[in-house]
Amino acid sequence: MRKPGLMQGKSGVKSLLLIAAMAVAALFPYGCKKKEAPTGQEQQAAQPGREHFNKGIQFALKGQHDEAIKEFQETLKYNPNSAETYNNLGFEYMDKGDLDKAIESQNKAIQLNPSLGIAYYGLAMALEKKGDKEGALKNWKEFLKYAQPHTRWWMNAQAHIKELEKKK
């Protein structure tokens, strides 16, 4: 029987990124949190940011981390308050092995949108990889507050919590 692992290969992170991107695309134009409908000028200004965000997702799915990071950084020039963009940056930095930048990006995503559950997931993964068991455990539990029960990601978080609590 296979035990859920941290990342079950790159395809696990790619699947998570794709799911997050689809949810974000459906709910927010590249992470924009405006409550009122954007004006024509705002829509024009938002277009380049949206294009960079979408390109970043495409590069991420291909495993082209440097290119994805550049596109997400460009997105932030148009929308510096995009929690979703910081979240995606965090996953890309983690895939490159830069855990400090991954943690910084996920923390920024959470600061901008404390209910962005996927950011807690990314932060927990990065902290666990870095060896911060307490921080990872805290963020896995926080992720569960936002995750739909019994999904693949929820079960993965449960497995991590169980494993980390055994090591306490």
The 10s digit of each residue's pLDDT in 35-87 is 344 444 445 556 889 999 999 999 999 999 999 999 999 999 999 999 999 99
**pTM value?**
0.76
Q: What is the pLDDT of residue 155?
A: 96
CATH of domain 10-166: 1.25.40.10
Q: What is the mean pLDDT of residues 105-132?
A: 97
Give CA torsion, residues 106, 111, 117, 123, to 10 deg. 30
Distance between start and end Cα atoms, the chain: 25
74/10 Cα distance (integer angstroms) = 24
Q: What is the pLDDT of residue 32?
A: 36
Give CA torsion, residues 23, 29, 32, 37, to 10 deg. -120
